A and B are shown apart, each in its own frame.
Chain A
Amino acid sequence: MSENVPADLKYAKSHEWVRLEDGTATIGITDHAQHELTDVVFVELPAPGRKVAAGEACAVVESVKTASDIYSPLSGEVVAINPELAKRPELVNKEPYLGGWFFKLKLTQPSEAERLLSAESYASQISP
């Protein structure tokens, strides 16, 4: 199976992706993760204003099959959450890197981003 791993994003081993722009990070889950989860039916997002640490469980994604914690790949303050996911959780399956984003962080420790995986390393982690 060919996995979709965009080259311009960074990745966490726990299958989140990160888009870095001017001190903020947009975070979602990878195509591989949504495929493993199967149909997503509910997403619980962190409250805007919440401060999260790298590695902290701060969201829950529920598929028909199971509930899974989502870990923040970086430390920061939640400045936005995806309002569409409340009405259309299936966006996580259909557009994992676009309409299916979870939340945005204003980073408090931007240097942590150096520890994230490149697209190439993440792709090799998930290859069978």
Chain B
Amino acid sequence: MLKRTPLFAAHQKLGAHLVEFGGWEMPLCYSGIIEEHLAVRAAAGLFDISHMGEISARGGGAVDFLNFVLTNDARKLQPGQGQYTILCNERGGAMDDLYAYRLDDAEFLLVVNASRIEADFAWFTKQLAAFPGGGAVELKNRSSELAAVAVQGPKVAGFIDDCFPASAQTAAALQKNEIARFNFAGRIVFVSRTGYTGEDGFEIVAEAEIIEALWDKLLEVGHAAGLKPAGLGARDTLRTEVCYPLYGHELDENTTPLEAGLGYFVALGKGEFVGHSALAQQKAQGTTRKLAAFKMAERSAPPRPGYSIWSAAGGAEPIGRVTSGTQSPSLSMGIGLGFVAPEFSPANTAVGIEIRGRRVPAVTVPRPIYRRS
């Protein structure tokens, strides 16, 4: 039996094209992937992200504990700030990638991938048991009681505050990565200026009982600005264009954040943390593979995950493998990400993507593949 989010009825009402995604029955699209993608780039899109997990960490020891299990420097977070960070195993492999928000001095909210909720919570619990002073931290998996939406696009800041007339502050005043409490339907909701599309936008975490009312209110206040409901199809093409990793594609337990080009989020200088020695060693020695972004050099079928990447010069073996690939709705060409031997990762390297037995010319490009003009 597939899991459903509290917005399932709302998706059905909108005529969503529903598909299975990681054990969840989710909207792939409503009006069409390309149309929804372009709506987010030009105006606004509304996504159900309630399948994602929420884990809270509270107590005087929370900041030190999170600083020990996550790669980014959690001590840099002031109350009201969030950061992208990675949960690593001892080998430096990624258990998950997530957002950590410091709600208050001693309270953190971690937003994790849907497929990793149980694994993450078990890992946090195990690490906490061995952590000195672990008794000063209370961990709670709040994933089933909380729901979330993402409202993304250049027009969103112009209408989002119409949802919160009873709130003293304005969401549009939040800076990138900031989070604050707002009032909606008599409840507290968390609004952050974050997203997974490369556009300006917000993510809202709320109690499951009020999420449908919030969804409907957003559609109402965003209608005039061109807000459209958008599904996982557009979510994937949007994040691929801006080269954001997707867990299970660019990251897994055998892939380090350094290999995936996420070294910026690994604070090797902050002191000991889980995976530190493996990552420090890899940093010193250099990785044996690197994530590269590429564009197809001619009109072709879109590249897909699993396709082989070849040197333009040929060779007996592929030089890498595609991890994410699609047709870019913004650029109208095939684009993708893949791990390659380091000498092929610099931009403007000619490569070939094997599509149904034929090596189609492609070229590596700087990340992100798409940038707002």
A64→B303 CA distance, assembly (Å): 10
Does B33 lie within 8 Å of A64, measured CB to CB? yes
Could you list 7 A-B pairs, sorted by A, with CB under 8 Å? A38-B17, A38-B33, A41-B327, A44-B356, A64-B326, A64-B329, A67-B304
A35→B16 CA distance, assembly (Å): 12
Per-position binary interface string of chain B over residues 111-155, scored 1 when its CB falls under 8 Å from any chain A CB and 0 otherwise: 000000000000000000000000000000000000000000000
B14 within 8 Å of A by Cβ? Answer: no
> Within residues 207 to 248 of chain B, which ones have a CB less than 8 A from any CB in chain A?
233, 237
> Within residues 32 to 70 of chain A, which ones have a CB less than 8 A from any CB in chain B?
35-36, 38-39, 41-42, 44, 60, 62-67
B300 within 8 Å of A by Cβ? Answer: yes
CB-CB under 8 A from B15, the residues of chain A are 1
Does A38 lie within 8 Å of B28, measured CB to CB? yes
Does B300 lie within 8 Å of A42, measured CB to CB? yes
Q: Which residue of chain A lies nearest to B356 when distances are taken between CB atoms in the complex? A: A60
Name A41's contact: one of B17, B233, B302 (CB within 8 Å). Answer: B302
Name B29's contact: one of A38, A67, A93 (CB within 8 Å). Answer: A38
CB-CB under 8 A from A64, the residues of chain B are 33-34, 233, 237, 302, 326-327, 329
CB-CB under 8 A from A86, the residues of chain B are 299
A38→B327 CA distance, assembly (Å): 12
A42→B328 CA distance, assembly (Å): 12
B301 within 8 Å of A by Cβ? Answer: yes
Q: Which residue of chain A lies nearest to B327 when distances are taken between CB atoms in the complex? A: A41
Q: What's the minimum C-beta distance from B343 to chain A, rounded to whole angstroms?
A: 30
State how many residues of chain B have any CB contact under 8 Å with chain A.
18
Does A39 lie within 8 Å of B33, measured CB to CB? yes
Q: What's the minimum C-beta distance from B37 to chain A, rounded to whole angstroms?
A: 8
Q: Which residue of chain A lies nearest to B332 when distances are taken between CB atoms in the complex? A: A41
Q: Knowing A62-B301, A64-B237, A64-B327 touch, does A39 contact B356 (C-beta < 8 A)? A: no
Name A67's contact: one of B32, B299, B301, B329 (CB within 8 Å). Answer: B301
Q: A64-B237, A67-B302 are in contact. List 11 more A-B contacts (CB 8 A).
A: A38-B28, A38-B29, A41-B327, A42-B299, A42-B300, A42-B302, A42-B327, A62-B301, A62-B327, A67-B304, A86-B299
CB-CB under 8 A from B299, the residues of chain A are 42, 86
Per-position binary interface string of chain B over residues 340-371, scored 1 when its CB falls under 8 Å from any chain A CB and 0 otherwise: 00000000000000001000000000000000
- Which of A39, A44, A66, A93 counts the most chain B CB atoms within 10 A? A39
A41→B356 CA distance, assembly (Å): 16
State how many residues of chain A have any CB contact under 8 Å with chain B.
17
User: Which positions in A face B, CB cutoff 8 Å?
Assistant: 1, 35-36, 38-39, 41-42, 44, 60, 62-67, 86, 93
Does B32 lie within 8 Å of A60, measured CB to CB? no
A36→B18 CA distance, assembly (Å): 10
> Within residues 323 to 341 of chain B, which ones have a CB less than 8 A from any CB in chain A?
326-327, 329
Does A38 lie within 8 Å of B32, measured CB to CB? yes
CB-CB under 8 A from A39, the residues of chain B are 32-34
A64→B331 CA distance, assembly (Å): 13
Q: What's the minimum C-beta distance from A110 to chain B, rounded to whole angstroms?
A: 31
> Within residues 6 to 57 of chain B, which ones have a CB less than 8 A from any CB in chain A?
15, 17, 28-29, 32-34
Q: Knowing A60-B356, A64-B326, A64-B327 touch, does A38 contact B302 (C-beta < 8 A)? A: no
Q: What's the minimum C-beta distance from A39 to chain B, rounded to whole angstroms?
A: 5
- Which of B33, B327, B329 counts the most chain A CB atoms within 10 A? B327
Name A60's contact: one of B17, B29, B301 (CB within 8 Å). Answer: B301
Q: What's the minimum C-beta distance from A106 to chain B, rounded to whole angstroms?
A: 26
A67→B356 CA distance, assembly (Å): 11
Q: What's the minimum C-beta distance from B285 to chain A, rounded to whole angstroms?
A: 38
Q: What's the minimum C-beta distance from B301 to chain A, rounded to whole angstroms?
A: 5
Q: What's the minimum C-beta distance from B170 to chain A, rounded to whole angstroms?
A: 36
Q: What's the minimum C-beta distance from A7 to chain B, rounded to whole angstroms?
A: 25
CB-CB under 8 A from A36, the residues of chain B are 17
A35→B34 CA distance, assembly (Å): 13
A93→B33 CA distance, assembly (Å): 12
Does B301 lie within 8 Å of A65, measured CB to CB? no
A15→B292 CA distance, assembly (Å): 38
Q: Which residue of chain B lies nearest to A86 when distances are taken between CB atoms in the complex? A: B299
A62→B28 CA distance, assembly (Å): 16
A114→B237 CA distance, assembly (Å): 43
A64→B304 CA distance, assembly (Å): 10
Q: What's the minimum C-beta distance from A118 to chain B, rounded to whole angstroms?
A: 27
A93→B329 CA distance, assembly (Å): 16
CB-CB under 8 A from B304, the residues of chain A are 66-67
